[in-house]
Amino acid sequence: MSAALKLMAVLGFAFALCAGRGAAQDAKPEITDDKPKPTVEFAKTWEAAVAEAKLLNVPLVVHSHGFY
């Protein structure tokens, strides 16, 4: 692959990444008056989760879900 093609591929990937991020940031959820049900307390970030789990010396439980 030529240097120009490589550069175009990298730029294209970066653009797609930015566009995806932008779309996510633009998404505004509908607001409800419903109150949440009691749910487990989630860590705010992965780093915070790891730090807290080390302090408590307990495992992390990662719940993978999605909108598919």
Partner 1 sequence: MHSAVMQNKKYLEFAKQNTVEVLALQRLAEGVQKKDPRAVAYKVKGANGEEQLLMLNWPNLTLEEIEDLSRSKAGSFNKTGKIPYTSVVDPWTEKEIKGYNGGSAKGIQEDVETALVALRKDHGKGVARKDLARVNEATAKAQAFATAGDFAKAIEALNKLDTQTKGAAELLTTKISDARAAVISAAEAALAAIESATDPVKAKKDLLALSDRLRGTGLETKAKELLLKL
Which tokens hold the place of 38? 């009691």
In this complex, which beta carbon is closest to partner 1, that of residue 3 or of residue 41? 41
Euclidean distance between CA atoms 27 and 3, whole angstroms: 36
> Interaction with partner 1 in 29-68: which residues (CB under 8 A)?
29-47, 49-50, 52-68
Alpha carbon 64 to its chain's center: 11
d(CA 56, CA 43): 13
Near partner 1 in 2-31, by CB under 8 A: 23-25, 27-31
Please say which residue, 2 or 25, places its beta carbon nearer to partner 1.
Answer: 25
Instruction: List interacting residues with partner 1 (CB under 8 A).
Output: 23-25, 27-47, 49-50, 52-68
